[in-house]
Amino acid sequence: MRLARIEIDPQSLSAHTSENEHERQVAMFDLIERNHFVPEGGTCDSYNLRLAYEDGRLVFDVTGEGFAKKTMLSFTPLRHIMKDYALICESYHEALKNATVAQIESIDMGRRGVHNDGAEQLTERLKGKIDIDHETARRLFTLVYALHIRS
């Protein structure tokens, strides 16, 4: 069972940098190419996902053949990791301009670590609602981060 299509509610997105837009596009492409996504009660082979940010909540609107379910999560538990990720991404993009390769690699390693922590937290928050594997969680975290920038 997998995601076949992903849409991010355009009203939920804000103006974004070219780096963030590129990461979002890559995450969406990679997510469609390979993912494990099973909503609770779902029996379809493939699903469509619409991600949105509504009233302080992260919305996973999942549809499939004969299936429709909306899962809403409070954004509050994710705010701290999103803030950390934003700071380290900013440091990483600044480092790309004038830091040494060793410095860039060091910051990137930290960025990937925070990204993994965010993916794990997202997996835990979706537990019992939507079953995802680690790589799917990492890519979804990137997309959720795009929504966080607006919030």
Q: Residue 18: its pLDDT value, please?
A: 75
The residue type found at 145 is: Y
What is the total count of domains within the chain? 1
Residue 6 has pLDDT above 80, yes or no: yes
Angstrom distance (rounded) from CA 62 to CA 52: 11
Stated pTM of the model: 0.89
Residues 77-127 have pLDDT tens digits of 999 999 999 999 899 989 999 999 999 999 999 999 999 999 999 999 999
Pairing of strands 130-132, 37-39: antiparallel
Domain that holds residue 29: 2-150
